[in-house]
Amino acid sequence: MKTKITLFSIFFFISLLMISCVSEVSLSKENTIQSFTITKGDITKEFSIEENSISGIVESTFELENINLNISIPKGATINPDPVTVKSINGPVIFIVTAENGDVKNYNVDIKREPSTDNFILEVNVKTPNLILSTDINNENGLITKRIPESNDLKNLNVEFKFSKYATVTPDPKTIKDYSEPVNFTVKSESGAEKIYEVKIEHMNTKISRSCTDTNASKWFGGDNRTNAPDDILPYDRNVGTGQIVIVDKNLVPSAFSIHLQEGFAYYEGKQKYNKPVKLKLIIKDPNFNILATTTTEVSQSFNGGFIPFDLQNLNLYFEANKAYSFYWYLVDGDELGVSSGSSADTKAGSGFCYNSGYGGQSRISRNNSLEDANVWFQHEWHFNIALEGKE
């Protein structure tokens, strides 16, 4: 019996010893960083690890902000700070890796972005009370130009710049208001490379005048007093307008727009001349068909045909080159007046200012619409006689 107790004691002691040894062996001392990557968007970059340091240089376009770190460490080890919380690297960072057994190892991470070599002026906008005008930038010769309406004082302009990220500009554009003479700016990249730009802003002071006078057709314009008109047209019911797309080849501040009617206003039925002044309305829409401006002009009772001008000088209009502006004109109260004239037109094909698409419009009192409604207008295949004046 005594022998059995002794054997049990020995066996119990050996078991405790084995458990102790197993416990000591299971606590890992591994505290190394096994891999280190940075992901930004769909780009991932891996960095080499040497002893207790991780370093590298990324391209200038690879921003070290809004990034995701992926750091591999041994099973059972911990790392501080948690890589998930690190979203930017703007200087050295220390990561502490603690092994399962408590051993600690520090890693110095020093990853930098290459200095940018970009030294460009990307955008220059002249802000006026009514418009924001973008300039023309030539990065090859460093020349920035813009012609602006004469109503703006060149000695007191609000000009906004956008330039390459990390670049600096001297003098500070925010301090410059006087552009009555060309102004030079030096753009210095993050890497130290310099580029000089000259900003030259001038007034639009070159007068231009364009007109379209070739005519071989005439379209009904105004009201209608006929009692036997086709298409169920009632007397003193409809009003017919005309329109034309205008495209200029250079930026323009328009001062006058003229339309051409072939004769004075008269009643079609009875052929009696109206012999009273009438009012015409002009609607101008931008390339997105938003109304830019409206104006009216009065036609004298002695008018017998020719160009009728609309004064645009006080409308603060600015037409950009190669963009389509829509002009619509009609006789005010033409339906009730019942008098008409003819819009002069050219049916021949061609190219340039005079050969853009025309418009026709027709409203009826009986249908409760008017020529103010966009849906009563449609494109017309003719090119209508117009004239445009202004300054480039």
Q: Which residues, in sequence order, are CB contacts of 164 under 8 Å at separation 6+?
A: 116, 118, 119, 120, 122, 187, 189
What is the rounded CA–CA span in Å between residue 170 and residue 172?
Answer: 5
Range of the domain at 338: 207-391
In 286-324 the beta strands, taken as DSSP E runs, fall at 291-299, 306-311
Task: Find where tokens 């008018």 sit.
Answer: 303
- The CATH number given to whatever domain includes residue 237 is 2.60.120
Give me 40's structure tokens. 């930004």
Q: What's the pLDDT at 93?
A: 95
Per-residue pLDDT of 79-106, as tens digits, reads: 999 999 999 999 999 999 999 999 999 9
Residues 302 and 186 in one domain: no
Nearest one of 362, 359, 382, 357 to 373, comparing CA atoms: 362
Tell which of 113, 146, 174 closes a domain.
Answer: 113
- Which one-letter amino acid corresponds to residue 166? Y
Does 255 lie in the same domain as 358? yes
Task: Assess whether 328 and 371 both reside in one domain.
Answer: yes
155 assigned to some structural domain: yes
Task: Mark whether 370 and 296 lie in a shared domain.
Answer: yes
The SS3 call for residue 77 is coil
The count of domains in the chain is 3
19 in any annotated domain: no
Q: Rounded to 5 degrees, what are φ and ψ at 343?
A: -80, 120
CATH number of the structural domain spanning residue 179: 2.60.40.2340
Say yes or no: 87 and 166 in one domain: no
Pairing, β 358-364 against β 238-246: antiparallel
**Residue 6: predicted pLDDT:** 53
Question: Are residues 359 and 283 part of one domain?
Answer: yes
The answer on 300 and 260 residing in a single domain is yes
Indicate whether 184 and 258 sit together in one domain: no
| Tally: H helices and E strands in the chain | 2, 29
For residue 130, the model assigns a pLDDT of: 85
Rounded Cα gap, residues 256 and 326, in angstroms: 15
For residue 77, being part of any structural domain is answered with yes
User: For 191-223, what is each residue's pLDDT tens digit?
Assistant: 999 999 999 999 999 999 999 999 999 999 999
Report, as ranges of residue numbers, the positions in the chain whose pLDDT lies below 70.
1-25
Q: Which of 185, 202, 219 marks a domain boundary?
A: 202
The tokens describing 146, both together, are 């813009």
Regarding whether 161 and 70 lie in a shared domain, the answer is: no
Domain boundary (83, 113, 143) is at: 113
